[in-house]
């Protein structure tokens, strides 16, 4: 599998955190989803859009106590949306238990290949409607402390119209803060898309899965996305898909309206609330923000934010943040820093 992936900056453990309430679909909530669990290939069973949405919600709900507790509880009524019956949720849970996936599809940074179920043992008390669920022990540490992760917005995932759009959204979210392009082979993308046999011919895959997914992401998320194709000169078959992407400053909601709070977010209050007072006071209190440019008071502070807090801050503020040091500031070694104009 030839992927030509660029390196990522590792995220820092202190910023792993679920934002908002994952059980409230009308409020923006998000979770950090490990790269190895974004880049998965289903080996047995099949997962639809509802299954994948449910998995992310269950993971977000369990996240704060993922390592401390063997199992987690949630009321089915908080998962079933407008349904009056628990039948669909139960069927989705069964599919998540039955699906066997290969984690770490690209062998990221030489880590081991791993195969496991998505959900472990589950039970439902019919009288109370409470679901008790678990994640396989072998992947809990990976889920909780990812070196690299995608910030998945649960409100956005509820708006996407196909499993292919959700999968592609997660794959691009994994890269959008560190890259502008991603090259992947059609076979690898078909594996990641969990494409059925009828879509293994590229023309069918492009028409029925890829093109609609790209259109969905451009319409319903804060990502600008396009796809180009490189062909083998001898066979004229597509051998590489090249995605180009960037973040928009504010996400356009369904119907073309912009969320009222996006344009005028109190960035200081938001960072202090979500990162905590200690992290905010240490790294952001003396920063200034203009547009998507965050100006740090020193080179050392700018480097720390880039290496440890950038993904988290960008997700909180919903901006494609660029961090710079103030002109003429002093770095840790006592040298003056000049910022190119």
From 180, 215, 247, give the residue that closes a domain. 247
Structure-token pair, residue 223: 């990502």
User: CATH number of the domain that 278 lies in?
Assistant: 3.30.300.180
Looking at the domain assignment, is residue 320 inside a domain? yes
Per the structure, the count of domains in the chain is: 2
Give yes or no: residues 123 and 175 share one domain: yes
Whether 286 maps to a domain, the answer reads: yes
- The pair of three-digit structure tokens given for residue 154, joined into one six-digit string: 């649960």
- The verdict on 74 and 167 lying in the same domain is yes
Among 272, 331, 340, CA closest to 297 = 331
- pTM greater than the 0.85 cutoff: no
Determine, yes or no, domain membership for 336: no
**What one-character-per-residue DSSP string does 174-189 give?**
TTTTT-SEEEE-HHHH
- Each residue's pLDDT, cut to its tens digit, for the chain (341 residues) gives 444 333 333 333 334 688 888 988 667 789 999 998 999 998 877 899 999 999 999 999 999 999 999 999 999 999 987 777 889 999 999 999 999 898 888 887 566 778 889 999 999 998 899 999 999 988 898 898 888 899 999 999 999 999 999 999 999 999 998 889 999 999 999 999 999 888 999 999 999 999 999 999 999 999 999 999 999 989 899 999 999 999 886 544 443 443 433 333 488 888 988 888 888 989 999 998 887 788 888 888 988 998 889 888 888 887 778 888 876 444 433 333 333 32
Q: Name, in order, each residue with C-beta under 8 angstroms of 7's C-beta and a sequence gap of 6 or more.
A: 178
Do 293 and 183 fall into the same domain? no
């Amino acid at each position: 599998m030839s992927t030509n992936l660029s390196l990522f900056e590792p995220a820092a453990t202190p910023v792993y955190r679920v934002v908002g309430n994952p059980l409230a679909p009308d409020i923006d909530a998000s979770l950090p989803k490990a790269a190895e669990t974004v880049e998965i290939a289903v080996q047995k069973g099949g997962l639809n859009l509802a299954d994948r949405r449910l998995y992310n919600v269950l993971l977000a709900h369990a996240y704060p106590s993922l390592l401390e507790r063997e199992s987690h509880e949630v009321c089915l009524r908080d998962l079933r949306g407008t349904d009056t019956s628990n039948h669909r949720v139960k069927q989705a849970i069964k599919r998540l238990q039955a699906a066997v996936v290969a984690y770490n599809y690209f062998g990221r940074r030489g880590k081991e290949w791993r195969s496991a179920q998505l959900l472990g043992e589950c039970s439902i008390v019919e009288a109370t409607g409470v679901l008790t669920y678990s994640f396989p022990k072998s992947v809990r540490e990976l889920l909780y402390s990812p070196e690299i992760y995608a910030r998945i917005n649960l409100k956005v995932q509820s708006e996407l119209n196909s499993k292919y759009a959700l999968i592609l959204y997660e794959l691009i979210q994994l890269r959008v803060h560190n890259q502008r392009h991603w090259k992947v082979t059609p076979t690898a993308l078909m594996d990641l898309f969990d494409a059925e046999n009828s879509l293994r011919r590229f023309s069918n895959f492009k028409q029925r899965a890829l093109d609609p997914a790209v259109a969905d992401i451009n319409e319903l998320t804060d990502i600008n996305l396009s796809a180009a194709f490189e062909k083998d000169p001898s066979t004229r078959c597509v051998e590489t898909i090249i995605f180009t992407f960037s973040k928009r400053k504010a996400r356009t909601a369904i119907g073309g309206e912009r969320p009222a709070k996006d344009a005028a977010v109190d960035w200081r209050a938001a960072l202090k609330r979500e990162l905590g007072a200690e992290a905010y006071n240490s790294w952001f209190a003396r920063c200034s923000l203009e547009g998507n440019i965050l100006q740090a008071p020193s080179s050392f502070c700018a480097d720390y934010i880039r290496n440890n807090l950038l993904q988290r801050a960008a997700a909180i503020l919903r901006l494609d943040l660029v961090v710079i040091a103030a002109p003429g500031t002093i770095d840790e070694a006592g040298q003056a820093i000049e910022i190119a104009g």
